[in-house]
Chain A
């Protein structure tokens, strides 16, 4: 409730994109372009073992023969992969042991972003791994997590310290050759988070990662791997921002989740990459592969996403429901304004018996944007008694935007019960007039109505994220009426 009020205050204070600053920090970059040498450079910078380098090189060889996918409803000029930097790190010597060793300018940046990086703020119970351009800067609260047996560290560190775990799971959910962008990521990923929750452990706090692209012409390729062993639970939050720049920047991440028997992973994202200006200049190209594998029985993976940024969003967080009785959930709010293009949705692959899934997608298009829900519900022929419920609601603001719903359903087992509901609506003049007659100014009224429209999804977010998300809804729709 209070958040709605805050939304409006924030709208009043904040310029169009408040994360649009950049930080002057000396950085170390790989030479421009992408060759085998670039891959070797990145691997060497990370002090990686030989097997990791081989893995990357194999991915790179495969990638050279792949083509960019064109099936999504997004349009952009051809990307020149040789005119970009694939690795950029804030310059410093060894990895920081404590916050004191981190460049104060970096900490300042995080402060501006509102990330609670300092330990005292951490008492709020969120552990943060912050990824700045390509490297993980600091992971807070490591000690406390260690006591619980939880591993939460940069993936580059995990490759060195927990090679067996990484070897076993990396690429096991999203294979190296899964798709063009995932393969690219496999070759050049620079950092990201690694989480391992041992058997029977309920992770004592929310884990959180904050991604930021700072350097010009830099791609960010983070790689996240989360493993929840039998009977364990973890809630993981991810937030993203980038400075305002005229050129487009590529973000191609891969996230892999694995749940064993009775385990649960809840993964929440608030994505607010720079969306470009009102004429569609600049902004992040967000091509992301996120997939969870419910490998064990009775396991559960839940994706919740609030997507407000990026010039282009190409993203389908999916669940492979392999274990019997496993459950996948996808809750999404995708807001597009100005010239943004969103093509997002989910895939629920039902392989096990009695598996169930739930999809709730809320797409809001404003300005001259295009917003597509693309989803697949697939039922394998051996998967008995599958249940799926899908709800796709689109809300249009103004008359220059568009919304599209593309649901694919493949049911190869006759016992499956699949439900699909879809609605498209507009904010009516009557609703606006009604709210304004009660004294609510127009932009606040839009935020109120849109937040109401998204309520089912907002309720899935952890509390502190929900508040931030509500504010974002208001900010990203600024100027969409009147």
Chain B
């Protein structure tokens, strides 16, 4: 599904990622853990193609294609989804309108028929229910005045409607209380399938109690310094990131 080779990334002339190698197979869930400032969010942005993140060396191959040659929206239509740590407000655009615009833009890019209003509404209702997203919330402008929990649920709702092949969850647990964390995790777990891969970026082990990964990687100072199974996360919880250079973290 995803193959990252010797990836070096600069932001504003400063090297943040210094040679990342990572392979995620179809159906696998990988977690990236690491102290603040280790380059976790940079990795999520460079995978989704954000401007300002300059790849100086290495490659990203997604489903056999050179992802670096694709624009942000092309990658999205090809199935790369990023659940944002801080979802962005879009004033005046209702959640419903946004979802429909996004879904139909992707379908159009893939040469599929766009969904009409009736089919779309049915789809949204079906996906919104398990995430406790009310009709009222769907009518509000996206993320405007949403609580932390509402924002994250809206992200997972988008993900379940867009049905990506590679989902990147950037600190999805931040700002969530335990109940909201459960709802969000259940939403994510419902999307696990043998064809779908996930990259879960998190600072804390807590999220991984709910979304159990196949592999855990520790990212520090722009490099993956350790890889293990889900138990690695528990170890980190006990010992902290000190031995991986957390002293440098902000």
Chain B residues lying within 8 Å of A429, measured Cβ to Cβ, are 51
Which stretch, B18-26, B89-97, B225-233, touches the partner chain A? B89-97
Which stretch, B31-39, B80-88, B128-136, B178-186, touches the partner chain A? B80-88
Contact of B101 among A5, A428, A431 (CB under 8 A): A5
Q: Is the CB of B76 within 8 A of A437?
A: yes
Contact of B48 among A1, A437, A455 (CB under 8 A): A437
What is the CB-to-nearest-CB distance from B48 to chain A, in angstroms, rounded to a whole number?
A: 5
Tell yes or no: A41 within 8 A of B by CB. no
Chain B residues lying within 8 Å of A444, measured Cβ to Cβ, are 101, 105
Given the interface contacts A1-B100, A448-B101, does A438 sit within 8 Å of B158 by beta carbon? yes
Given the interface contacts A434-B84, A437-B72, does A1 sit within 8 Å of B90 by beta carbon? no
Among A277-334, those with CB < 8 Å from B are none
* Bound-state Cα–Cα, A428 to B117, Å: 29
Which A residue sits closest to B164, measured CB to CB? A439
Among A207-246, those with CB < 8 Å from B are none
* Bound-state Cα–Cα, A279 to B97, Å: 35
Q: Is the CB of B97 within 8 A of A435?
A: no
Total interface residues on A, CB under 8 Å, equals 28
Q: Give the interface SS of chain A, mostly helix, strand, loop or mixed.
A: helix
Given the interface contacts A438-B162, A439-B162, does A4 sit within 8 Å of B88 by beta carbon? no
Tell yes or no: A454 within 8 A of B by CB. yes
* Bound-state Cα–Cα, A444 to B87, Å: 19
Q: Is the CB of B114 within 8 A of A5?
A: yes
* Bound-state Cα–Cα, A2 to B114, Å: 11
Tell yes or no: B58 within 8 A of A by CB. no
What is the CB-to-nearest-CB distance from A201 to chain B, in angstroms, rounded to a whole number?
A: 36
Q: Is the CB of A2 within 8 A of B117?
A: yes
Chain B residues lying within 8 Å of A436, measured Cβ to Cβ, are 71-73, 76
The 8 A CB mask of B97-110 against A (1 = contact, 0 = none) is 11011111110010
Chain B residues lying within 8 Å of A206, measured Cβ to Cβ, are none
Chain A to chain B: the 5 pairs with minimum beta-carbon distance, closest first: A452-B92, A452-B93, A455-B92, A439-B106, A438-B102
Given contacts A434-B90, A438-B98, A440-B73, 16 further A-B contacts (CB under 8 A): A5-B100, A5-B104, A5-B114, A8-B105, A430-B88, A435-B90, A435-B102, A436-B76, A437-B72, A438-B105, A438-B158, A439-B109, A440-B105, A441-B109, A448-B93, A453-B91
- Give 18 pairs: A residue, B residue, CB < 8 Å, sorted on A: A1-B117, A429-B51, A433-B51, A434-B84, A434-B90, A435-B102, A436-B72, A436-B76, A437-B72, A437-B76, A437-B82, A438-B102, A439-B77, A440-B73, A440-B101, A440-B105, A441-B73, A448-B90
